[in-house]
Structure formats: structure tokens, C-alpha cells
Amino acid sequence: MHVPVICMFGSSPIPGFYPYDARSISVRAPVSCHPCRIHECPLAGEEHMMCMKRMPPDLILQYADQILREEGERPACELSAPTDFETRVVEMADGHFALAPRGAAGRVVRSSLPQSR
């Protein structure tokens, strides 16, 4: 999509998952267990999720400010016509998630996006 992003890597390895845009920034904490590739962190106490907790929020905000300054007033992306879109909503019912069928009343969200300048 050619939009710069900040990717924060916890359990996932950077090779293979990093954003393919030279303006993007990949961040990982220097922890010995990275990349563990485990979806549920097995560590307890202070060590639990240390791969994410050791990424200082102020550093991430500095990177966000840097990207915003470098990108200036350019829009993140140019929308192609049409600008109307439709999506089906996944809702929880009876303890289970269910995808509403197309055209289901009250479940289809229609919206018009503003035209880019």
C-alpha cells in the first residue's frame, strides 16, 4: 500500500514479517527469547511479555513523529473510485462469533468516504 508503518515485533521474527517499505520502521526489544514464535507468553511475573514491555512508548512516539514529519502533508494513500464501501460485521451471539450474511438487516455497514483533496 506504500504507507510507512511502525512494526513492533514481540514473539515474531522480523525476517518474513517486516514491512516492505523503506520508510517503515521495525522495532524489537533486545531480549534473549526473541523470537520465540509462541502466541501465549510462558514467562511469569516481570518477565511476562518482556519482548513487548521493553519497547519504550516514548521511543515509538518519536518514530511516529519522525515518519509524520518526513511524510509532510501527503495523504497516506489515494483512494480510487468508488469511495463507497460495504463490510460485513462479525458479532458475538450466544457465546460464539458469527459472520453476518450479505444483506442481513442491521449487520451491513455502508459508508461514504470523503474524497481526498
C-alpha cell belonging to residue 66 = 519522525
Q: pLDDT tens-digit profile of 53-92? A: 988 888 899 999 988 888 887 776 666 665 555 555 555 5
Place of cell 460485513: 88
- Top mean pLDDT of 3-17, 32-46, 79-93 is at 32-46
Per-residue pLDDT, averaged over 17-42, amounts to: 85
- Return the domain boundaries, the chain: 6-71, 79-117
d(CA 14, CA 34): 10
How many beta carbons lie within 10 A of that of residue 4, not counting itself? 19
Secondary structure of residue 8 in the 3-state scheme:
strand
| β-pair partners for 9 | 28
- Which of 13, 6, 7 has the alpha carbon at shortest distance from 37? 13
For 87-111, how does the pLDDT look when each residue is reduced to its tens digit (9 = 90+)? 555 555 566 655 555 555 444 444 4
